[in-house]
Structure 1
């Protein structure tokens, strides 16, 4: 029995040693790779000062009308991710992409990620650039923040354009601060890089050049699970609850692009239609696409926007 116990102890210690060695290897590889990647990262856009920190903003196009683009949750590089859509819109509009704190090349922040704080920061960035008249276009969770934004800055917003945006009646699950601690450990030890190695390329087969995809992958690894985005996840449930009290102003032109067949939420189209039922200028366009419909349907979206803006603005 003593020999068996000693053998089991040695096996257990060997297994523990191998696990620790694997963790140390993952951590070291991630550290070295991250350092190397930051040297290859190419800057874009311009930095504006917001709340004592630097927020990255990208502007392209010379059109008379301005479209301000806001990203969905966790988008590593809004500017590069929106690239196909920017290319289609920029011949006709001035396109302004905001990279909120924790996204793209913007700084992180410890400030609570409430809708109020996020929209205040976006508005401050636009004010710094002297932009005070524009159409607001938002993907996913930014559509929820846009409800708050439009109701406070209606005099500036000419129209709202939703890209499969979140609606208050279809709330995300509540995330507690204690829930994000394991994710922080997972990220800090370098396992987020392993996770990305095991997942499919989200840009495969889409109109992104190799250089853009390389830079996107660098920024995905840089920003994935950062503290600002994790804090945003913690605030998400309360942001949904607060948005339930809001509606689009009746006189605001609203154009919604929505995926026709949501893989999980059967009420997805119904709830989007309900959001514009009292709008004087509300229109919904259903697309055979996934949640990131602007990646695959940028030309169709740009065409519909030109038609809509031409008739409503």
Structure 2
């Protein structure tokens, strides 16, 4: 046999052995990945089942369109404040506790948990502004609440612009807690993106994500029991289908609100973070919203987006001053 043929045979044999080794390594990695995914899925299923039993109910249920919407009502003041949460809030009735503890001395406070939030049911109805506003209004009507101050955080500020124009005889004043403005729109999210997130959610990976992320309630004025419940409900509601549908509808909801403004005679008070980390136009755009309002005030706070968690006393005091001045006019 020629030496060149022998060398070629040896090279071929080495190549086959190398490919065989690489194939084994690839198979081992693939099996390890599949086992990891299976482990995450199984752990999440067991943990979720256990956590479901540990949820402590709060508030009361109101039937809306055949679903149950949870509402927390505290305080016995003559005036009523209705609070609406920002996008993705895991448990509004618990999350707003620092502000509730300050406001309930002087107001009757109603925290609405829209569908997909807190202890409320999910819904497959579209998450248009019109639909969300209708559901919230039905809830308040069922509770016979027909005159109130509307207070909204983040994206609920966008929905509130439609709300106050639809029900001007019910809303006595509007308070924005770093609320969204139509001119600073969220990016468009396609349903194909949320389909991928659903896979991520169904496999149990949000639990790992939360384990690796910072606790947003660390060193804040919440007791340990409330923190535990917030953690359980964060896990329960994270990336749920109702909230993902709301994310898909968000861009069109911003576009629909582009031509809206607050009624000139509606008292409006904004609490806005003074230094937005990525949007320098944040405060100026809020100020523009108040241009035509007869009774308006903007309060700048050295805080992050969730300013009601850290500046509850200041917000409550300013709200009292603002609403108190209205009653003396």
**Given the two structures, how large is their TM-score scaled by the length of structure 2?**
0.95
The yes-or-no answer on 1:217 pairing with 2:235 is no
What SS class does the counterpart of residue 98 from structure 1 fall into? strand
Residues 175-203 of structure 1: per-residue CA shift (max 9 Å, x gap)? 01111111111111000000001100101
Q: Distance in 1 between matches of 2:280 and 2:314?
A: 24
Task: Tell me the equivalent position of 1:182.
Answer: 196
The within-5 A match list for 1:1-313 is 1-313=15-327
Q: CA deviation at 1:270?
A: 0.2
Residues 223-247 of structure 1: per-residue CA shift (max 9 Å, x gap)? 0000000000000000000001100
Q: Distance in 1 between matches of 2:214 and 2:25?
A: 36
> Structure 2: any 5+ residue segments left out of the alignment?
1-14
> Structure 1: any 5+ residue segments left out of the alignment?
none
Residues 119-168 of structure 1: per-residue CA shift (max 9 Å, x gap)? 00000000000000000000000000000000000110000000000000
| Stretches of 4+ aligned residues off by more than 4 angstroms | none
Q: CA deviation at 1:301?
A: 0.2
Q: Distance in 2 between matches of 1:2 and 1:157?
A: 77
Q: Distance in 1 between matches of 2:159 and 2:25?
A: 54
Residues 9-40 of structure 1: per-residue CA shift (max 9 Å, x gap)? 11110000000000000000000000000111
Q: Distance in 2 between matches of 1:5 and 1:169?
A: 58
**Root-mean-square deviation (Å):** 0.4
Task: Tell me the equivalent position of 2:4.
Answer: none
What SS class does the counterpart of residue 168 from structure 2 fall into? coil
Q: Distance in 2 between matches of 1:154 and 1:304?
A: 23
Q: Distance in 2 between matches of 1:256 and 1:312?
A: 15
Q: Distance in 1 between matches of 2:136 and 2:146?
A: 12
Q: CA deviation at 1:205?
A: 1.0
Q: Distance in 1 between matches of 2:51 and 2:69?
A: 21
Q: CA deviation at 1:277?
A: 0.6
Find the structure with the greater CA-based Rg. Answer: 2
**Given the two structures, how large is their TM-score scaled by the length of structure 1?**
1.00
